[in-house]
Amino acid sequence: MPFTVDISLEHVGGPSAGMMFALAIVDRLDEEKLLDGRTVAGTGEINSRGEVGAIGGISFKVVAAKEDGAEAFLVPADNCAEAAAAAPEGLKLLRIETLDDAVDGLRALRDGREAPTCQG
């Protein structure tokens, strides 16, 4: 490879950080940045096939994300109902089942297109 990959996991707090960790790697490798200056949060376990699984504590995570300035939150599909019930006003909940869904959702958000959400 024409570059060095250095991964540090000392501050990663459990499997629910997996999807966001994988997404950060995709963003670094993609020439077109996914966020375009937006603050986005998310969660979800991820397996070797890129499938995102449910996590615990989603109701606390969406509130904390909004308090930290997030405008959108990537939510595992199986956590959508709980996240929607707890989400503060103004936090867009992007529904994801795979890492590809997360990338597509962020591209849609960046480009001003609709993305699947937990609200319908």
The contacts of residue 2 (CB under 8 Å, 6+ apart) are none
State the catalytic residue, choosing from 8, 16, 59, 66.
16
Active site residue 66: no
Closest to 96 measured CA to CA, from 26, 19, 16, 17? 19
Quote the CA–CA distance of 8 and 82 in Å, as a whole number.
Answer: 31
State the catalytic residue, choosing from 48, 61, 66, 92.
61
CB 41 within 8 A of CB 73: yes
Active site residue 16: yes
Quote the CA–CA distance of 95 and 5 in Å, as a whole number.
Answer: 30
Task: Provide the annotated active-site residues.
Answer: 16, 61
